[in-house]
């Protein structure tokens, strides 16, 4: 057995030497430190500055930060606030924000992360940058584990120099569905050099392809002598904004004359959340007649869920893969009318043809006039491209038309797995 000169552990700055007296005591102390760091959260209370409506930022000391893994923010701040981390060392940690305001986690002047009210985020800091390691979670949930509710889908941009009058300084094209919270809560803007002459109001335009011109949905204002921007929902105050794949956002500089003489070096982060689920569940709302000895693709009547636009009434037999999806899983279920004659076959085709990994179920009809024949099938993960489509097809050779029944037991689902 290999032995080491010392145990390589560290407690209160002292290595545990192999020959050390009472090394078990020191090891136990180390165990307690590690246990406290990993199991006991640090309660961080945030409040307003005395005599002011402004919220007090909270700075974590080295011992506080490196001595804990979970930081539970509480209190009743009136406005968003910063959680300032030490500017040295690497640490993986979790911030749970139980306040009603957004907490911005900052370190040494690099990238920052917003933790919205009621959310929990798993983060890493290297003393300069703070980055996200996992999706956003609720702060509540069974066993304290929380439930994934959204993917972080912030929109970042920057502009170096002074924007020209009416200049479109940023343009985003959506690759997935993203929701911007009501009144842009959690969004941040910063001007390296603030406006000096008058507030600079930038317009945020949304083009969803349904009208000849984009719609004005928001404004980003840089007040005189202030670095931080103020966001406002112009189109529908108090309502969230849902952006679909292919939608375009544009930020346009003020078009008035003259432009501010000082405002320059702008950075912007729009806080956004993306639904982690992309997929659809198609169903029948009426029975479907299936001729004998004829292959039939089931024409679905509606969906009970369609996140991503997989189903269209114009092609009711198909669930079509949208842009941004590279792998899916497809599952179907069919219930036949009661009949004991011959075979029932059900399968799924990709873009009209068989494919490797295609699920197929073939069986004789249930030998009982009191029971229905039910068939369920599912695929493994399937590599796809935008525009590929899946159809559930059936065949029966009873010698007469049979019926696929409506209800809870006849459906087709598709789920994006990457």
Mean pLDDT of each 10-residue bin along the chain, 418 residues long? 38 49 55 56 84 73 87 88 88 88 88 86 87 60 40 78 90 85 88 90 92 91 92 87 89 76 88 79 96 97 90 97 90 94 96 95 86 92 95 97 94 91
Please choose, from the candidates 61, 121, 120, 59, the residue with its C-alpha nearest in 3D space to the C-alpha of residue 89: 61
Q: Give me the long-range contacts of 139-147 (CB less than 8 A, separation at least 24).
A: 139/96, 139/97, 139/98, 146/120
For the residues of 199-244, what is the DSSP string, one character each? -EEEEEEEE-SSSSS-EEEEEEEE-BT-SB-EEEESSSTT--EEE-
Is the Cβ–Cβ distance between 223 and 287 less than 8 Å?
no
Rounded CA gap, 274 and 42, in Å?
30
Nearest-angstrom CA–CA distance, 217 and 415: 31
- DSSP letters of 257-274? SSPPSS-EEEEEEE--EE
Q: Which helix (H) or strand (E) holds 39?
A: helix 23-39
**Could you tell me the pTM of the whole model?**
0.45
Nearest of 211, 209, 202, 150 to residue 179 by alpha carbon? 150
Residues 55, 43 contacting (CB under 8 angstroms): no
10 Å CB burial of residue 390 (0-12, 13-18, 19+) is buried
H or E segment to which residue 65 belongs: helix 62-66
pLDDT score for 28:
56
Please tell me the predicted confidence (pLDDT) of residue 276. Answer: 65
Question: Which of 374, 153, 360, 183 has the alpha carbon at shortest distance from 245?
Answer: 153
For the domain bounded by 279-416, which CATH number is listed? 2.60.120.40
Residue 50: φ, ψ to 5°: -55, 130
**pLDDT the model gives residue 335:** 95
Residue span(s) of the chain under CATH 2.60.120.40 come to 279-416
Paired tokens of 252: 């346009």
Fold of 155-274: Jelly Rolls (2.60.120)
Digit-coded pLDDT (tens) for 40-97: 788 999 887 766 556 678 999 988 888 888 899 998 888 888 999 999 878 888 899 8
pLDDT at position 140 is 47
pLDDT recorded at residue 237 = 85
Q: Is 389 helix (H, G, I), strand (E, B) or coil?
A: strand
């Amino acid at each position: 057995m290999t032995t080491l000169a010392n145990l390589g552990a560290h407690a209160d700055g002292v290595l545990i030497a192999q020959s050390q007296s009472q090394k078990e005591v020191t090891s136990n102390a180390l165990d307690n430190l590690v246990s406290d760091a990993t199991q006991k959260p640090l309660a961080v209370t945030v409040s307003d500055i005395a005599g002011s409506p402004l919220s007090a930022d909270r700075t974590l000391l080295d011992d506080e930060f490196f001595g804990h893994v979970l930081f539970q923010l509480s209190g009743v701040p009136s406005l968003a606030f910063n959680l300032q981390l030490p500017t040295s060392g690497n640490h993986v940690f979790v911030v749970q924000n139980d306040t009603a305001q957004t907490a911005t986690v900052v370190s040494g002047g690099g990238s920052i992360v917003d933790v919205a009210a009621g959310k929990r985020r798993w983060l890493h800091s290297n003393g300069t940058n703070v980055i996200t390691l996992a999706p956003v979670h609720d702060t509540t949930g069974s066993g304290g584990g929380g439930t994934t509710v959204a993917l972080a889908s912030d929109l970042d941009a920057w502009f170096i120099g002074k924007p020209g009058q009416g200049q479109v300084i940023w343009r985003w094209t959506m690759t997935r569905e993203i929701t911007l919270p009501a009144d842009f809560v959690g969004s941040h803007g910063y001007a390296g050099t603030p406006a000096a002459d008058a507030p600079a109001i930038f317009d945020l335009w949304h083009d969803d392809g349904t009208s000849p011109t984009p719609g004005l949905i928001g404004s980003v204002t840089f007040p005189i002598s202030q670095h931080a921007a103020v966001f406002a929902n112009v189109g529908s105050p108090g309502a969230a904004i849902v952006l679909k794949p292919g939608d375009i956002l544009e930020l346009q500089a003020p078009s008035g004359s003259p432009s501010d003489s000082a405002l320059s070096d702008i950075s912007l982060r729009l806080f956004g959340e993306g639904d982690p689920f992309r997929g659809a569940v198609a169903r029948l709302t009426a029975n479907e007649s299936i001729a004998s000895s004829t292959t039939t693709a089931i024409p679905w009547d509606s969906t009970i869920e369609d996140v991503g636009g997989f189903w269209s009434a114009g092609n009711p037999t198909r669930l079509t893969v949208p842009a941004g999806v590279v792998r899916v899983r497809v599952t179907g279920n069919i219930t036949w009318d009661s009949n004991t004659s011959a075979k029932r076959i059900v399968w799924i085709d990709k873009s009209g043809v068989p494919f490797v990994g295609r699920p197929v179920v073939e069986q004789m009809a249930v030998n009982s006039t009191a029971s229905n024949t039910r068939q369920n099938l599912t695929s493994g993960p399937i590599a796809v491209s935008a525009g590929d489509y899946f159809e559930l097809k059936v065949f029966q050779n009873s010698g007469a038309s049979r019926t696929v029944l409506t209800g809870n037991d006849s459906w087709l689902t598709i789920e994006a797995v990457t």
